[in-house]
Amino acid sequence: MGAGRVRGGYLFFVLSVLLFCSPVFASAAPPAGLQVDEIRYGGGGRTTRIVFDLNQQTDFRAFLIDAPYRIVVDLPKAEWKTFKSRLISNNPVIKSYRSGELDDGLTRVIFDIKKPAVINNIFTIAKNGMDKDRLVIDLEPSSPNTFNAQKSRVFGNRQLHGSAAVKTPSGSGYAAIENDLVKAVIPGGTSKPSSILHKEQKIYTIVIDPGHGGEDPGAEASGAKEKFITLSVARELRRQFEETGRYKVVLTRDKDVYIKLHDRVAISRDVKGDLFISIHADKIDRKGVRGASIYTLSEKASDTETARLAEEENNAGFVAGVDLSQETQDVADILLDLAMREKMNESNLFARMLSQSLQRKNVQLLPNSHRSAGFAVLKAPDVPSVLIETGFISNPDEAKLLSSGQFQRNISAAILDGVDGYFRKIQALQKL
């Protein structure tokens, strides 16, 4: 990796060019917009270096987020001349990156890393002969503790804004490694990076899917029908969610009708749901068994689904915000896989929060209450999805409970609690 390293004989040549051509710098008008030409990797020893090749010098901001470990790099609105998302093979630290545009126009790049690593150094280098303007980030593997300690730090321009003016070359070659503003605003480093990006309160769209319906009654036992329990719970959920003013709720069905599984997923994708929750009630031969459980899509089922989707949607345009029509089959597969994995991470995070909130509200749970399976309704690649088995109607006591308004209010409050916790976490993680 040659970025940032100056080659001996070349230096003299470059210096001469700079000396004799300096009026060019003085008179050059600032270029129109930032452009990311390439993202390169390299390193030596313990250091992994990320280099952004750019068309001009720029302001930047970088910080760490965990669960999973990631590095976030924000730039002013930038045009991409290279892959917007990419899997990185053969790098000991970096797994992949993906980029997107924030609401205020900022360009955000997120690097997924294989293990905790901290930012050792981050700086810009002005263009130099054949080398372009660069943003260089040196990473060093660290302990989880060191990573956590650096999470509260913001490198670069903390106040970076989407419409921020792009810096003109300073001549020194190096921009701020960590500017004073950061230290001034985060005394003691106790603030979380999330606080700097506080946005307007977002209204999240929650898709609630009452299982079964119409000619498909679902499980039937102890005089109870699954399709009625799921619809009652879904309506109670909608009431409680809407009452908060923080959520918009879409039900996949609001009456006793049959809806295909595929159509339930389609609804969730059409309304651009932030979360999909499918409600069910279970039945088993052993009457003693009771308790709720939460399902997310299994890895294996997801792989099959990814392959199918990749095939089906290769020419169909956007999936999970990725324009697949512009990519080759290989790249489309990789991007879809990345999107799917990201949603699975989010689904798993939500399932964990849900399991905790159900316990807090004393909803009885099955042992190992978070499970995975290949449920068709969990297969939207763009919407984090979980399926809740609220309990077993094959257990007469639980059948009675599931049909009661009091239980339905309580489990709905628990689910709302889990959803609140999930979005707080997501906001803290500064998701795209």
Residues at the site binding Zn ion, with contacts judged by CB under 5 A: 211, 218, 280
Closest approach of Zn ion to the CB of residue 226, in Å: 5
Closest approach of Zn ion to the CB of residue 281, in Å: 6
Give me the numbers of helices (H) and strands (E) for the chain, helices first please.
9, 21
Q: Give the number of C-alpha atoms closer than 13 A to the C-alpha of residue 17, restricted to the C-beta side.
A: 9
CA distance 239 to 387: 19
In the complex with Zn ion, the residue whose CB is nearer, 137 or 377, is 377
Residue nearest to Zn ion (CB): 280
Burial 331-370 (b: 16+ CB within 10 A, else e): bbbbbbbbbbbbbbbbbbbbbbbbbebbeeeebebbeebb
Backbone φ and ψ of 407, nearest 5°: -65, -40
Residues 171/126, Cβ–Cβ less than 8 Å: yes
Strand, helix or coil at 377? helix
CA distance 23 to 231: 73
Q: Which two tokens stand for residue 102?
A: 């924030």
Closest approach of Zn ion to the CB of residue 378, in Å: 13
Closest approach of Zn ion to the CB of residue 399, in Å: 14
β-pair partners for 319? 322
Closest approach of Zn ion to the CB of residue 387, in Å: 8
In the complex with Zn ion, the residue whose CB is nearer, 220 or 313, is 220
In the complex with Zn ion, the residue whose CB is nearer, 236 or 327, is 236
Cβ count within 10 A of residue 37 = 16
DSSP secondary structure letter of residue 268: H
Token match 């290769």: residue? 314
CA distance 338 to 312: 17
**Which residue type does 188 have?**
G
Q: Which two tokens stand for residue 311?
A: 């095939």
In the complex with Zn ion, the residue whose CB is nearer, 280 or 379, is 280
Closest approach of Zn ion to the CB of residue 218, in Å: 4
DSSP secondary structure letter of residue 187: G
Closest approach of Zn ion to the CB of residue 227, in Å: 8
In the complex with Zn ion, the residue whose CB is nearer, 131 or 209, is 209
Closest approach of Zn ion to the CB of residue 186, in Å: 49
In the complex with Zn ion, the residue whose CB is nearer, 149 or 376, is 376
Closest approach of Zn ion to the CB of residue 304, in Å: 21
Q: Evaluate the omega torsion of the peptide bond into residue 68 and state whether it is cis, within 30 degrees of 0.
A: yes
CA distance 95 to 423: 25
Closest approach of Zn ion to the CB of residue 207, in Å: 17
33 to 68, 79, 400: CA distances (angstroms): 32, 8, 64
DSSP secondary structure letter of residue 216: B
113 to 64, 146, 271: CA distances (angstroms): 10, 15, 32
In the complex with Zn ion, the residue whose CB is nearer, 51 or 231, is 231
